[in-house]
Structure 1
Amino acid sequence: EEQAGRQWVVLDGDVDPEWVENLNSLLDDNRLLTLPNGERISLPPSCRIIFEVEDLQHATLATISRCGMVWFGDNTLSLPQLLDRALVCVRGGLQPSAWVNVSALPELELESFCASAIEPFLKPDELMEQAIQHAAELEHVMPFCRQRALAA
């Protein structure tokens, strides 16, 4: 039985034509995944697929034409917004206090302590912003991404 609400499948990384072409029938209106053995699996109406990619360099027109796109430029989220989000993650995420398990309290206290210790460095024009700006000026094997640099 199908659960209420939406279900999401998130594919993070390059859209490689070798494997994504097999998903084209899934992305069509018929929403069928055809396996190599010929078996077909239907995607429930409540399920959505998201491709989170850096660029469309490896995507084919057949795949692109089957997808809606949302593009976030480098300036969509400011560096202070990204740093604020990083601080929220260090503090233990965005879970309501009703979800907190009593046995997890020592861990939450540690997360709060760590967040308090690094918070001064995440303020505008402080160490982290300067480090990210400096890193952006260096040569990279992959295209520079502030979110990825911050996560590292």
Structure 2
Amino acid sequence: MTLKLNRREVILAGVALLLAQPSLGQATLDIEMLNKDPDDKKRRMIFKPLIQVVQPGDTVRFVSVDKGHNTQTLEGMLPEGAEAWKSKISKDFEVTLTTPGFYGYKCTPHVSMGMAGLIIVQGEGMMGNYEAAKAVKHKSRMQKVWDAIWEQVEAEGLANS
């Protein structure tokens, strides 16, 4: 038996096949919420890694390794159009990021101890909120943490578009 398909049927079949495939290039990356760094016991109340670089469409999973932590975006440290988040304490949390740029976040209960981190979503327009995020002022210990984060971003060339 010979099967003949016209051009429209071939195109529709191809589109259906593509839609049925899992998304290519999208990943889930973990950030652990920890009481102490397993590699450096002097570092307490941390997100690990401190800086996570992702692609648009990737999902970041905050893993509550130790109880008592959450994740919440920091005001002034989100790309335009990106949605803020706030997770529940001691619960794993996932967020899928589609807007390129710099996302600053904190642990609400441990903000005074400097528990913060940065997610960089690469892609066109990534640098759109870089200067604004860098310019956000933080209180005491938190400012020292952010100064170190921005220094690392520069040293590793993560702010290159």
TM-score under structure 2 normalisation?
0.20
Give the structure with the larger strand fraction.
Answer: 2
TM-score under structure 1 normalisation?
0.20
Give the structure with the larger helix fraction.
Answer: 1
